[in-house]
Amino acid sequence: MKTAIVIPTRNAATGNNWENVLHSIDMQSVTVDLKWIVDSDSTDQTCAVASAHKWRCIRIRRERFNHGSTRAKVVTLLAKKGFDIVVFLSQDVELATPDTLAALLDFLLNNDVAGCYGRQIGCNEKTFDFQQRQWLYPPRSEVRCLTAFSENGLPNIGFFSNAFAAWKIPAVLEYGNFEPASFGEDTLLANRILKAGGRIGYCAEAVCRHEHASSPGALFLRGFQVGRLHAGHPELAANSFRGGRMRQFRRIMIPRQAMIPAAMKAAGYLIGRHLEKATPVLIFVLIWILLLPALLFSELPKRDVASRYAPMAEAFAAGEWEFAFHPRVTPLLPMVAGGIVRGTGCGGFLACQLAAILLLAIGVFPLYAGTRRVYGFRNAAIAALLFAGCSYLLRLGYYGVRETGSVLGMLVLFHAAAMLRDAPGKYRAYLWSGVGMVILLMSRGDVAVFVLPASLALFLWDCVRNRYPFRSVSAGIFALILLSPLLHYNYRMIGYPVPEVRHAVIFRKLCRKFPILASLRNPAPRMTLDIEMAGGESAPGSLPPESPQKRERK
């Protein structure tokens, strides 16, 4: 049986025990027919040291290296050269005894398995990595298949290590070879073999020394890689945690000094496993991290914040409704800031800043969701990061102004548009459109010039795509229900059921041209729009008067 041993390398002579690795292979009791290293642009003495130990070196460009596809090319090339077995070894794995390789090859040849891997042991008993290896690499060899799994509940049915493994080349080709993957390529092939009715093995007698870096960052990255693998292939996680593996994990006695590394790896796994869901949450937190320190050095508030929003927020928190609302000021920011004042007891200015930051940070979620629907995860993550890094938007949050509510409303509409693109018949997309329009109208009154054509476009879209505008009309009714408290308040105060005072001026003009609309006017509002007393002073309860030039134009 022609056998080759292959080690993918990259700067193996730097920071690793490369000489000992090669020496441990030279001391094996069996001799292989070919020893290769596949080097991806090492800048140290990796190839020179390997050549001194009579290894052949194949060089590939670093950007073209991929764990899965590189192994697939090696297997295909070895098959053409008539080889029967290939042993893949990591560059930091040292064979523990002179019989390690012989034990692995004997297990592969004496059992009906397509591939098998050896037992790994750590060096430092106090590390989490050492404890985990005791769990993953038990002292008893196993031949695994789906039938044995269903009968005996093998805990590691889908696990396979690429650090020290031997494969039968004809079997690898029969089951489709390694697939392109930057991590977990051996596990993916092993699970494909199991699904097809084949067998894989674990040889506990073939022992090697291998220990990953134990720094918190390295453990986090390792957990993240495993999480990403399980996210792309959920069946791997299912095979891992069924059959008692979770119960076995709970019995691991983790030393106290290994608690933090274990937590880092678990955090990396959870983020990697749920990265697409975690990304907007992480960027939401990032916005707060960027802006909260700036609040410690707050400058004097903007004029609108000091004279309007902050006092209104404090009045809202105190339940003084007469001062908490005003027809000239849309209520979204004062209401959110008032809730913060009520809950934390902070001042109105700080509450306005926190409310503005909150509205801005929430905008990450519809932006990410809409972009992901249209352009995929990678572009959605980039868009959310660019949003979080936009200095203009961050300043809006820092100043505590209401424009961040408008940004949120626009992003909700963007998300709704992305949903309509994928599912034009879903009511949910139309309802989200209504929510976005309500947020806009409760943030600034001048956005009505955008909301009206957007509403018309939604209506026409519904007519074209769904024949009958039931969905858009339902969204409009839903928006009116959400706006009804604001519309009722302004009806009582200024006489017209509109979101803001400038809309009342326009509505009054329409009533003069179309008397039928006058029935919607309150004949006895608490405030007047432009009535003046003698001497040019405003009547009690009135809004500031308009200039004579404006009245002449009317």
Say how many residues make up the chain: 554
Structural domains of the chain ordered from first start: 3-212 (3.90.550.10), 276-523 (no CATH)
Query: Per-residue pLDDT tens for 336-361?
Result: 999 999 999 999 999 999 999 999 99
Q: 388 in helix, strand or coil?
A: helix
pLDDT at 405: 95
Using the CB atoms, write b or e for 61-71: b if 16+ within 10 Å: eeeebbbbbbb
Q: Are 427 and 328 in contact (CB under 8 A)?
A: no
CA–CA gap between residue 496 and residue 521 (Å, rounded): 5
Q: Are 75 and 168 in contact (CB under 8 A)?
A: no
Look up the pTM and report it: 0.72
Q: 199 in helix, strand or coil?
A: coil
pLDDT at 536: 41
Q: What is the mean pLDDT of the chain?
A: 85
Q: 201 in helix, strand or coil?
A: strand
Which amino acid belongs to residue 161?
S
Query: Per-residue pLDDT tens for 79-111?
Result: 999 999 999 999 889 999 999 999 999 999 999
- Smallest Cα–Cα separation from 413: which of 338, 475, 493, 468? 475
244: left (phi over 0), alpha (psi -120 to 50) or beta: left
- 270 is written with which tokens? 């959870």
CA–CA gap between residue 285 and residue 273 (Å, rounded): 19
CA–CA gap between residue 272 and residue 293 (Å, rounded): 28
Angle of helix 364-375 versus helix 377-388 axis, rounded to 10: 150
Degrees to nearest 5, angle at CA 211 with 258 and 160 = 105
Residue 336, Cβ neighbours under 10 Å: how many? 21
CA–CA gap between residue 530 and residue 163 (Å, rounded): 82
Question: Which of the residues in the chain have pLDDT under 70?
Answer: 15-16, 124-129, 131, 148-158, 213-214, 235, 237-259, 261, 530-554
pLDDT at 534: 36
CA–CA gap between residue 124 and residue 218 (Å, rounded): 16
pLDDT at 255: 54
Query: Per-residue pLDDT tens for 254-272?
Result: 555 556 767 777 788 888 8
pLDDT at 127: 65
Query: What is the DSSP secondary structure assignment for residue 10, as one 8-state letter?
Result: S
Query: Per-residue pLDDT tens for 285-303?
Result: 999 999 988 887 777 788 8
- Smallest Cα–Cα separation from 153: which of 249, 239, 250? 239
Which amino acid belongs to residue 348?
G
- Smallest Cα–Cα separation from 382: which of 283, 246, 312, 300? 283
